[in-house]
Amino acid sequence: MNKLKMASEKSASRVLMLLSQLERLNEEPKVSDNDAIRQTTGKILHLIQTQEKTRKEVASKSSGGMEIILSSLENTQDLQTTLNILAILNELLTVGGGCRTGVFVSKGGTALLLQLLVGSSKDPPANEELMLHIHSLLVKVGLKDRKLGVKARLNGALNVTLNLVKYNLQNHKLLLPCLQVLRVYSSNLVNAVSLGKSGTLEIMFEIIGPFSKKSTTLLKVALDTLASLLKSGMNARRAVDRGYLPTLLTIYQDWHRNDTRHRHVVIRKSILGCIKNLTNIKLGRKAFIDANGMRILYNTSTECLPVRTLDPLVNTSSLIMRKCFPKNRLPLPTIKSVFHHPLLHIPASGPVAKLYNQPPGVDDVVDESDENEATEVDTENDTEYDEDETGPKTQNDDIETDINKLRPIQMNTRPFDELRLNHFFLSFDDDFESPRSVIPPSSVNSELHRPIIIPTTPSSLGPQNRRPPQEDLLTPKPDESPLELDSISISKRPEGTSDPDLVCSLGRLVLDAGVNGGSVDGPQDEGGEQAVLEVPDTAALLPLHDPDLYLEMVKSTRSVPAYTEVGYPDYFGHVALNLREPILERVYGVQRMKIFQDIERLIHPSDILDKVVYDLDNQSCPVTDNGESLKFNSKFESGNLRKAIQVRKFEYDLILNSDINSNHYHQWFYFEVGNMRPGVRYRFNIINCEKSNSQFNYGMQVLMYSVQDAINGSPHWVRTGSDICYYKNHFSRSSIAAGGQKGKSYFTLTFTVTFQHKDDVCYFAYHYPYTYSMLKMHLQKLSALRTAQIYYRQDDLCVTLGGNSCPLLTITAMPGSSSNDPISQFRSRPVVFLSARVHPGETNSSWVMKGTLEYLMSCSPQAQSLRESYIFKIIPMLNPDGVINGNHRCSLSGEDLNRQWQNPNAELHPTIYHAKSLLQYLRATGRTPLVFCDYHGHSRKKNVFMYGCSIKETVWQTNVNTSTCDLHEDLGYRTLPKLLSQMAPAFSLSSCSFVVERSKEATARVVVWREIGVQRSYTMESTLCGCDQGKYKGLQIGTSELEEMGAQFCLALLRLKRFTSRLERHNHNSHLLDMETDLIETRSIPNITSPTTYVLEEDEPAFLEEVDYSAESNDEIDPDLEPDLQDNHAPQTPILTQT
Ligand SMILES: [Zn+2]
């Protein structure tokens, strides 16, 4: 310790000389030196108290002052010296802030203080000044030393401080620092348990009490200590047993009443903090309800609402109320889909097997054990966790780290001949000369001749008209209720008949498929007073749409519920809006307001109607109709409303049907509403959503289609709704539907709508609907666009489980002539393989596909050039059954088809099985596609972007020590996304990722990459919401932007071709990818990870609103405060990712 050279210099200050003196005394301790040390330390103290300069000198590293002082503290047995030194330290640490405290901690000061504390407590009574000094220092240390709590416990200091608190309740001078230290101690969960056992809770309740302007600092510290202690389940239970919860509520009310000028919001917040932690346990929640806590917090919060500065109180109250809100049962007999499709072959394991093996009579809506106190996870386990013991958190653990699983494999599991047989695959030799006529999609089940009914105006939905469709036709009832004057009627003449056999009576449009030529719906006889309205003429605007053709297509579409009605929007068609629809700005406090309205259901139960107005589980519903309720319907293609309950006069809870052969996946919705009053604000709540967050929280609106508007010339789906938010609700979700996890809840999507017209019929949808029948109609129209130059062929890839055909298209250019050269060029064109809509709820992918198809069939020179460059193999809808039946994610097998690519089953997953066979065939014949892209929609991100596959980028992300240098990988996979980012305004390169995740190993993208060997294998994700960059920044996405995206994708392929052909000229043997690298700016390659780092599922910022939108009402541990502990409890549910 020779740092005191300065002291010998002329400029040496007095304090440095004193330190030097002290250092010498430390080195040769003699009993007689006590006086000297006492004097020296006294002088240093004096200097420090009077001159800031000396404080700096002592604390500076070069002086070594801190070491000398601590060393003296360690060595001395003299009380006065100790006091001097502690006073010096207090002075030093008070002014210098964190930096000096940091030095103190790093030199072992904490342990020294704790040892001193414990040592001097051994012969009571302890010196008060000494205790004051030690605790004042510990308070400061606590700010810097995160391990103080653990160190205190290990040194046996917890009870020393606790006893000081206990015996000095009236001595505020000493009580405050001791209490502050206790607060630090109790922030460690193990300490909290130990302190609780020693009676700390009881002592805290002696300190806290009703409103008083005195000792508010002390009170605040006591409350915070209490709140920390109550994080332990054991302490919380103890507190509930002692009846502290009602006490806290009373205290809170007292402060609420008396703190009229809001000077003590922090104290009020702290009281709520205690209640919040107490209600983490079930017993606490029960005590809260029993003590009338809901009403108390509801009323106080309502009074706080007008004062913005009281928001923290309202928000915490709201959090507590949400937690304590009794869990409700979803009002359903079962969460299994209402409709059932029997499977010939039931998979041996997995969700479907589970569903089928569920014993009959089991209640799958709620967990039986939910109310069982024994299931709680808190209590004695508290002691097992300590902040020392938590392991490092592994991030991104979904990334594939097994290098062998990233290398290409060849798995031609099926013999070539079989592949060939299955796929009447283009042998290009004979086919191009006489392009075959299109197989009309309807031919698959053209034997179906059933009436098609288009539901419409409110009156049509009355109970008297809710008849099975056959009945509609065959037995018209003469005693129908009289027509309402303002009902809409549509008259339309289907082809081939002069009689209007497409008639809407009482708003219901009935199409007789031609069997019973003139048959009409019963009430039509009385239709004299109906307004006859024409179908909007959209032919000019929608070249691919034709209402008649649409109905034709619907006839051959097979749905599980055997739908006979048609949604008006699908029949009329949707014309993209010209105006811009900005991303909705969220109103402050909207979620809170909605939650308060939900809580009012509990507070004012008499206001609640609870009237079921639509129920697929009960066909006789609705029983009564007083004209006061909205009328719902979704019995048409892609519709999926299961139940509607009128909660209040203008508020409805809606429940979505599960995917068929499944008990969950609720997100997509499509339904019809009628009998509305114009100008009234209706609140709709979809109460069984499952995702933990949604773009509805970030500006996305629902889509609405007004039939009145359509008839009046505005056939648009329009973004609509205000007060939109998405939050966790109080309907419990059974573990059967939550991946085995208990205590989960559903989420509510709420939106408010004001209807413009009386007697309108409006449709609501999650996103722009695009039905299977619509696809068939579009394909028929597209095939008519063929010219002599265009090769267009439509085949059936296979028939689905539901008996529908899965169309497969081939589009390219006809060879220029039949001479040898053009034909060989024709044969050597690279294949581009595209698919979409494997996930039925991602209708945006169909709109993008429509854009692609329209572009490919257009006559522009670029389109011709594109056709001359490639052969396109396109499966525009990989999951027709899912689309038809209103599923969100699965096929009729109840499985996510985009997780079946590794091993598709011909019976269960025919479209995937045959699509993969086709790809295998292409590979086997040396025509491995240049590009594969599967179009999807993304519900939680903005913009359009791509996921691709790269070994290197995957390995780099994992930081696994693999030598990546020997991995050869072309960068060609980056070219297309890069081109798209330059060309397509909605596309965002920074959202792209080329990392291969474990959870995605059975997706089309990864399997086509690994097994088929397509280097450019992508998933293209389009937002359901809107864009936050580029030309469409701040706007919600519409169908024209999606279609544009599909067209831009084609143009990007054309540019890709230019790169590749330039290269072919150059040296046809070399990798065409080298050339592409130019495009990717070689300089950026070493940093290639930066633009496309591993993309997490959610990239939205945390919610601006303070209320925790996902507050887990059953959390035993506050997730914000104990993240590590939470990890130890249970494995997280696998997040269903959206690819
Ligand atoms: Zn998807």
CA of 875 to the centre of ligand 1 (A): 15
Burial of 102 (0-12, 13-18, 19+ CB in 10 A): middle
Instruction: Identify the sign of the CA torsion 806, 810, 811, 817.
Output: negative
d(CA 876, CA 777): 13
Going from the Cα of 771 to the center of ligand 1, the distance in angstroms, rounded, reads 16
d(CA 338, CA 375): 31
CA distance 949 to 1: 60
- Calpha distance 503→513 (Å, rounded): 12
* Cβ–Cβ under 8 Å, residues 645 and 610: yes
- Closest-CA residue to 701 (of 678, 680, 681, 684): 684
982 CA from centroid of ligand 1 (Å): 24
689 alpha carbon to ligand 1 midpoint, in Å? 17
Go through the chain and tell me how many residues it has.
1139
Q: How far is the CA of 583 from the centre of ligand 1 (A)?
A: 22
CA of 842 to the centre of ligand 1 (A): 6
CA R_g for the chain: 36
| Residue 562 alpha carbon to ligand 1 centre in Å | 26
CA of 1136 to the centre of ligand 1 (A): 10
Sheet holding 531-533, edge to edge: 452-454, 508-511, 502-505, 488-492, 531-533
**Cα of 119 to ligand 1 centre, how many Å?**
66
Residue 578's pLDDT is: 86
- What's the CA gap between 258 and 263, in Å, rounded? 10
Sign of the alpha-carbon torsion through 997, 1000, 1005, 1010: positive
Measured distance CA(521)–CA(498) in Å, rounded: 17
Catalytic residues: 1021
pLDDT of residue 51: 80
Name the stretches of the chain with pLDDT < 50. 1-11, 370-395, 424, 426-451, 454-532, 1067-1139
Task: Give the C-alpha separation, 669 to 567, whole Å.
Answer: 13
How far apart CA 227 and CA 619 sit, in angstroms, is 52
Distance 1007 CA to ligand 1 centre (A): 15
Of the candidates 684, 670, 666, the one whose C-alpha atom is nearest the C-alpha of residue 733 is: 666
Query: What sign results for the dihedral spanned by CA atoms 619, 620, 626, 627?
Result: positive
Q: Report the separation in Å between the CA atom of 484 and the middle of ligand 1, taken as the mean of its atom positions.
A: 44
Q: Measured in whole angstroms, how far is the alpha carbon of residue 408 from the centre of its chain?
A: 32
**Spacing, Cα 1089 to ligand 1 middle (Å):** 24
At residue 642, the pLDDT reads 96
For 921, residues 6+ apart whose C-beta sits below 8 A from its C-beta are 416, 419, 420, 422, 423, 425
Alpha-carbon distance of 66 to 61, in angstroms, equals: 8
Compute the distance from residue 792 Cα to the ligand 1 centre, in Å.
27
Give the pair of three-digit tokens for residue 697: 């929280």
Query: Which two structure tokens, joined as six digits, stand for 46?
Result: 């004096």
Using the mean position of ligand 1's atoms as its centre, give its distance from the Cα of residue 373 in Å: 39
CA of 847 to the centre of ligand 1 (A): 14
User: What is the dihedral angle through the alpha carbons of 385, 389, 395, 399, rounded to the nearest 10 degrees?
Assistant: -100
Q: How far is the CA of 882 from the centre of ligand 1 (A)?
A: 13
| Region for 934 from its dihedrals, namely left if φ exceeds 0, alpha if ψ lies in -120 to 50, beta otherwise | beta
Eight-class DSSP state of 1008: I
CA distance 994 to 1099: 17
Beta carbons of 890 and 897 less than 8 angstroms apart: yes
Q: How many A from CA of 936 to the centre of ligand 1?
A: 4
Cα distances from 1052 to residues 733, 821, 866, 1040, in angstroms, run: 45, 27, 10, 18
List residues bridging with 1027 in a β-sheet: 1033
Measured from the Cβ of residue 265, the count of other Cβ atoms closer than 10 Å reads: 17
For residue 1138, report the distance from its CA to the centre of ligand 1, in Å.
5
What does the pLDDT read at residue 29? 62
What is the SS3 assignment for 458?
Answer: helix
Q: How far is the CA of 805 from the centre of ligand 1 (A)?
A: 21
Amino acid residing at 537:
D
Q: Quick one: which H or E segment has residue 874?
A: strand 871-875
The CA-based angle 801-806-810, given to 5 degrees, is 160
Helix 172-186, helix 200-207: angle, nearest 10:
130
Q: Give the distance (Å) from ligand 1 centre to CA of residue 45.
A: 71
Per residue in 764-818, pLDDT tens? 999 999 999 999 999 999 999 999 999 999 999 999 999 999 999 999 999 876 5
| pLDDT tens figures, 395-426 | 466 777 777 777 777 665 566 666 665 554 54
Centroid of chain to Cα 59: 51
Task: Go through 1034-1056 and write b for each residue having 16 or more CB atoms within 10 A of its CB, e for each that does not.
Answer: ebbbbbebbbbbbbbbbbbbbbb
Cβ atoms within 10 A of the Cβ of 350, count? 13
For 345, which DSSP code? Answer: S
1006 CA to centre of ligand 1 in angstroms: 14
pLDDT recorded at residue 288 = 97
User: Nearest 5°: phi and psi at 957?
Assistant: -70, -30
pLDDT of residue 404: 75
